[in-house]
Amino acid sequence: MADMRVSGEEQKHFVTPKPDVPTYPPGLRINIMPEQLEKLGFLKAPGLKDKFTMLAKVEVVEVSGGADDRDPNDFRLELQITEMVLKGEESQQDSKASTLYGE
């Protein structure tokens, strides 16, 4: 898996003062609403700093850039999560991952 933390070089591109530079880019955050949490098998809210493994099927819904002659590899993807599982310590969540991904 790739570590998505903002590198020192990337931090230079943020307009905010250095102490406010985020550890991870804000575009990588997702919000999961109560209805989706229920589908994922959460019976109670997890604690802050709890860690899970997210497995997701995504669909590319937008590709932009890449046509620029300066750098054809400079593009952006917008992905729509279509299915996902959060694997954690609760066996109910693990069994859902097994069902969806055959693990």
pTM attached to this predicted model: 0.59
Determine the pLDDT at residue 57: 93
CA atoms within 13 A on the CB side of 36: 10
Q: Is the pLDDT of residue 44 over 70?
A: yes
Nearest to 50 by CA among 87, 100, 1, 24: 87
Q: Where are the beta strands (DSSP E) in 1-103?
A: 53-65, 75-87
The token pair at 37 is: 């949490």
pLDDT category at 60 given cuts 50, 70, 90 is very high
What is the mean pLDDT of the segment spanning 36-64? Answer: 90
Predicted confidence at residue 67, as pLDDT, reads 66
Q: Give the per-residue pLDDT at 85.
A: 92
For residue 85, give both structure tokens: 């599982």
